[in-house]
Amino acid sequence: MPGQKLIEVFGAGPVSVVRAPGRVNLIGDHTDYNGGYVLPAAVDREVRIAFRPSGDSRVEMISADFDERAAFDLGGIAPGQAQGWVKYPMGVAGAFQAEKYPVAGMRAVIRGNVPIGAGLSSSAAIEVACAMAFCSVSGLKIHREKLAHLCRRAENEFVGMQCGIMDQYACLLGRKDCALFLDCTTLDMELVPLDERGAKIVICDTRLKRQLVNSAYNRRREECEEAFIILQRHFPEVKSYKDISIPMFRAYAHDLPDPLAKRAKHVVTENARVAQAARLLKKGDLIGFGALMDASHDSLRNDFEVSCRELDLLVGIARESEGVFGSRMTGAGFGGCAVALVRPDCVAAFTAKVSDGYQAETGAAPGIYVVRASDGATYENADCRLPNEAEERSHNSHKSHNSHRPLAK
């Protein structure tokens, strides 16, 4: 446990612990940074940090998973300064400072079981756990929605990954046995029940690790921005891809050169799929939901071109397995994981078929993780918590533009 390691290395004293989950995106990839819809869930794979105040401006951290130690001073943080896992806590501290939050030093030990580089957002889990630890040692009460933005800023400006807000929102605001239907433009959200008695979430890991900052991820974002500028000339009233319907896109798709037309087609159609998927999930229509998962993967493979042989192989085997409602790659792509919704009584057979089939084709065993939608990040200390905006509005009796009103009608 990280608490025991903290005492072993830094001596006796108070120990606080925070946990932050990974996340799986059920449908809606590459729509978040385009201001569209996503449907992620926090999962019961997590990062834990045991920590205590240092009493000075030094941050000393140990990664129990890597058996590595790192330290930095809060007075000398700059973008691109660190490499490896320490860039995430350093980036979070830098994001706090950039927004004028006073940050105190700490001693901490990190341990987690979120697969790294697999598309389950281990980076966001580390960022969120570090942010909550910094809040605790610094005496800050920052609501969860704002904390998500701070963690995204750390990723964008200090790590160099131009991600959207989905990962951090899911890690902080997830709820047990629920998916989070999120509008990434307005940040309106709705929790949609996901009963594991009807379907289990099964993650299939290619074991291909992604280095997204150095991959085509940021180029895909640039292509989407270029395509949107062209489409907006015809529809000056639209603010994001979410405002562009499929008929609107089809009317002017001929104005977009390749590959911009394919990138925009994916984003527009994926937004429509996510909105429909949320409606179907509310009705308990897992068959219809699964068909949309299948269509999403096809679009990510053919139009957004972020799949790969290994992901397509996993998805293909999954689709041929008994009791599978749907399967798709999940996350940014270029490796990482596929996700499937599987009937509970078929999970064992599904796991065996996917493992055997993938290993026969690639010579490598996939990672198979059966996960459950979980609560967002929490402190283990009963007297330590962070509010969210909904609680603040209820307390202060006023409305906010980020109201958590239903989206899936």
376 inside domain:
no
Asked which of 194, 216, 250 is the last residue of a domain, the reply is: 194
- pLDDT computed for residue 400 by the predictor: 36
Please tell me whether residues 179 and 233 are part of one structural domain.
Answer: no
Please tell me whether residues 158 and 290 are part of one structural domain.
Answer: no
- pLDDT computed for residue 201 by the predictor: 97
Asked which of 174, 194, 214 is the last residue of a domain, the reply is: 194
Please tell me whether residues 262 and 339 are part of one structural domain.
Answer: yes
> In this structure, what CATH number is given to the domain that contains residue 132?
3.30.230.10
Q: Is 56 a catalytic residue?
A: no
DSSP character at residue 185:
T
Name the domain count of the chain. Answer: 2
190 inside domain:
yes
212 inside domain:
yes
Q: Is 202 strand, coil or helix?
A: strand
List C-alpha distances in Å: 77 to 103, 163, 353: 12, 21, 48
DSSP character at residue 373:
B
Please tell me whether residues 154 and 255 are part of one structural domain.
Answer: no
Taking only Cα atoms into account, the Rg of the chain, rounded to an integer number of angstroms, comes to 21
Residue range of the domain that includes 15: 2-194
Please tell me whether residues 40 and 184 are part of one structural domain.
Answer: yes
Catalytic residue among 29, 167, 183, 303: 167
- pLDDT computed for residue 277 by the predictor: 98
- pLDDT computed for residue 210 by the predictor: 65
> In this structure, what CATH number is given to the domain that contains residue 363?
3.30.70.890
- pLDDT computed for residue 2 by the predictor: 86
Please tell me whether residues 148 and 244 are part of one structural domain.
Answer: no
pLDDT along the chain (409 residues), means of 10: 86 92 96 96 96 96 92 90 89 96 97 80 92 96 95 91 89 96 95 93 88 71 96 96 97 97 98 98 97 98 96 98 97 90 98 98 95 95 63 42 49
Please tell me whether residues 358 and 287 are part of one structural domain.
Answer: yes
Please tell me whether residues 218 and 305 are part of one structural domain.
Answer: yes
Please tell me whether residues 170 and 246 are part of one structural domain.
Answer: no
Q: Is 68 strand, coil or helix?
A: strand
CB 240 within 8 A of CB 34: yes
383 inside domain:
no
142 inside domain:
yes
List C-alpha distances in Å: 142 to 147, 148, 245: 6, 10, 36
